[in-house]
Structure 1
């Protein structure tokens, strides 16, 4: 009796600060086989999967498991799928620095160079690299491709990348890199079918999740973004402050006696929605609260998004379309409506019913600026990059 016909697949792994997203795609066609996520790592772990290989029969990860445990669970679950053959793995890597501007195969030298960028993305880079090491240990020799959140933004003009600091520091790589690039790459790839002729116009994409940023696109290429050298810059986020006066950092160190590590913890883990509200970093919790601090935190989140969006409209020289994506962008119509109201001066006008339903197009008929909701999918660009890199390797012999 013969066994099941083998299914060749590409594995995409996306390690976030408190979650692990993953996807399997058919190696030849990139048809989706499985997509899922493990959230609540370190606490009440929750598993969600969908697709033909939904891993529904697998026992869930152990409560309280960390990222390493989640990756180990995933690899073990995949091993038990009859006929499944994983041909390569792709990984989201948050920071590629100045040297890595395109996906590439990981070897020991690449891994060592990516390790040097950990100080610029301390909450994410170690998790990304741990996933690579876990796969290498479980499947030695399996091709692994690193896909960088910063790479999408390397098309920005030089002025958009420079900080007004001594030139030598910029020459050493202290530049504005931008992040959430895989999310923006996905949005750019589907814009023609979503927005038609507007796709190649002046577009702002709002990636609003626990981490949040905006990106200005022209011809579906990044020309400016709100994040900079690190993912701490720009918008107010779940627990991250976003942009603050550099003098505030100096004040906390010099006058309040905080160590650099304590300041980093304050700005990365105790600020944003959580810090301002004193209640939660979850928009859903804050919207359900009648505490005025919750309302003020949400108002500040919207204000910062509107203010930063205005700067990107200036960089673009106008606005043709606005796109919401990621957790808040996709599922918080009140936040979308408030941001749109703040951008009404530029011609943004929502249709309330479309917005409440979360339609793909949520702008009012006749709105000068078209507004869309596009589901985030950072795993598909990873899978595409893996296939492309493997094909290039074959063509090189």
Structure 2
């Protein structure tokens, strides 16, 4: 991670990798490189019902495994350590189309103010211009803003050496290997992401190809991918016709996804506000309970003091002082003195009435 200080720690491979002790296999998912069927297969092998990324049990998380288990998995020849890879240009196109163009993962919220963010994509020329603007912007910290397009060498940097690195074009090999290790059937797995528009090298011009070759240089070298030809190519007419036909649907999908993200964000914010209000109500209830208990304590003290008085001035003065002492820290001194005076007045009236009654008797 030190090579890429801008990327958040949660994108690190250690936080995304999963392991199965039963199958003796470690799987490091690579975003937009065939991880969907692999994760589904791992869930099937562990008897799970397609968990969300944050719902995998801690027992299967590499980052939460016991050190002895991680050490064995990293060093033992009996363990398989598996990941996939994809040509950076094809993976980048898939990531941009899915996350940015179609508005998944709150893209509008995160990047909507950026100059490169696609807005009015009405023609094929608009589509290509939007993508090329995004690629040019990647020659900055934007490269590390999302694991969807972050360098693959970065995303696996913290993991032990892999026994199997399978190219996306040979994804079936990875599926077969994992199914054998887990002892489960690989039939009816969810398909890898299906792009509305397939990748073609000519979606980039010469300048864009040069950017990709430069920023993804380690990916090209470490995983054996060929650099892009840094030249302006021409898209097949069939590809352009398909793109033109799909643009209205793409606009509708993008708006629907953005609306869903906005709705979910408002729901989360509303829940946060509700939780804050619940906390405030609980605090107020505690304060009221404390005041109510204190009030009853003082009332009981008044009754006890009244019962002890026989009407002498000295005892009345003692009662007033005791009442003031009891109420320190709860009442102000003025309020305490006033309550003491009221008490003395009531007691004095009561004593006087009693003396008069005895005299008449």
Give the alignment's TM-score, normalised by structure 2: 0.22
Q: Indicate the structure with greater helix content.
A: 2
Q: Which one scores higher on RCO, CA 8 angstroms, separation ≥ 6?
A: 2
Which is higher, the Rg of structure 1 or of structure 2? 2
Give the alignment's TM-score, normalised by structure 1: 0.20
